[in-house]
């Protein structure tokens, strides 16, 4: 029997990168994965890859920053499957700029997706989880939400907020059999980080004690653990996956 047989997992930002790998890993453990994003073609491709491998995957287009669309996803999943066991708030964007030059739209868009998106989906799944007296929520944070980063005040603030959101919600729902945790990746090799200049990559590598970059699967394995029964007594925790960048 696989780890998540019979479980229903909702993963936001699942059309590529870390979100796609998380979805694939949960499907390998038997979960029915519901992939959420705005990029329909990419969602279809990820869902297709999961089903070709023998896993179970569905996809729903939604803008995580819109409360109504988050609620619609939760209602559709519960209507179809009668439950939501796992939520992984992974959707995230960057709009980097020094604060002095940062446009209001750059601030607002990052906070809307990265932080309000986590709020929207967490709130949307709470009722079915509370009714079941079971649930697992994991927010994908970031090392920069713990230490800050020049040119990323918006992104760092959103990720610090995701951590505070998780800790606060963990206290609210702990007695209902629901855990809420965070995974805070460091430098992970994705399409987003590949766009960074080579000198920036070298500077990061010098700062990482393990002298190597992480892979999306490293984050996925941490998420899988926090969703599992083995982590049933862990809540309000931030699990760092960063090769020692921040200890």
Task: Kindly provide the b/e burial profile for residues 49-72, where b requires at least 16 CB atoms within 10 angstroms of the residue's own CB.
Answer: ebeeeebbbbbbebbbbeeebbbe
pTM: 0.96
Position 199 scores a pLDDT of: 87
Domain 8-234 fold is: Rossmann fold (3.40.50)
Among 155, 187, 233, 246, which one carries the catalytic annotation? 155
Known catalytic membership, residue 233: no
DSSP 3-state of 56: strand
Nearest to 238 by CA among 103, 145, 130, 132: 145
Helices H / strands E in the chain, number of each: 10, 7
Per-residue pLDDT of the chain (247 residues; tens, 9 = 90+): 799 999 999 999 999 999 999 999 999 999 999 999 999 999 999 999 999 999 999 999 999 999 999 999 999 999 999 999 999 999 999 999 999 999 999 999 999 999 999 999 999 999 999 999 999 999 999 999 999 999 999 999 999 999 999 999 999 999 999 999 999 999 999 876 787 788 888 888 999 999 999 999 999 999 999 999 999 999 999 999 999 999 9
pLDDT digits (tens, 9 = 90+) for 126-162: 999 999 999 999 999 999 999 999 999 999 999 999 9
């Amino acid at each position: 029997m696989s780890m998540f047989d019979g479980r229903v997992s909702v993963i936001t930002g699942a059309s590529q990168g870390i979100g796609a790998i998380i979805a694939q890993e949960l499907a390998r453990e038997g979960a029915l994965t519901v992939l959420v994003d705005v990029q329909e073609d990419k969602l279809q491709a990820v869902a297709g890859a999961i089903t070709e491998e023998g896993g179970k995957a569905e996809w729903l287009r939604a803008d995580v920053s819109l409360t109504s669309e988050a609620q619609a996803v939760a209602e559709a999943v519960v209507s179809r499957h009668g439950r939501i066991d796992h939520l992984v708030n992974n959707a995230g964007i960057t709009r980097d700029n020094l604060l002095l030059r940062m446009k209001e739209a750059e601030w607002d868009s990052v906070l809307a997706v990265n932080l309000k998106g986590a709020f929207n989906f967490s709130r949307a799944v709470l009722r079915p989880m509370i009714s079941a007296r079971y649930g697992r929520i994991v927010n994908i944070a970031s090392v920069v939400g713990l230490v800050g980063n020049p040119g990323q005040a918006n992104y760092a603030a959103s990720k610090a907020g995701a951590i505070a959101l998780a800790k606060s919600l963990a206290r609210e729902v702990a007695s209902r059999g629901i855990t809420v945790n965070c995974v805070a990746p460091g430098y992970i090799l994705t399409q987003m980080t590949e766009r960074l200049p080579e000198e920036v990559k070298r500077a990061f590598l010098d700062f990482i004690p393990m002298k190597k970059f992480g892979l999306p699967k490293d984050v996925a394995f941490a998420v899988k653990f926090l969703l599992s029964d083995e982590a049933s007594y862990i809540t309000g925790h931030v699990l760092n996956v960063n090769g020692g960048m921040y200890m």
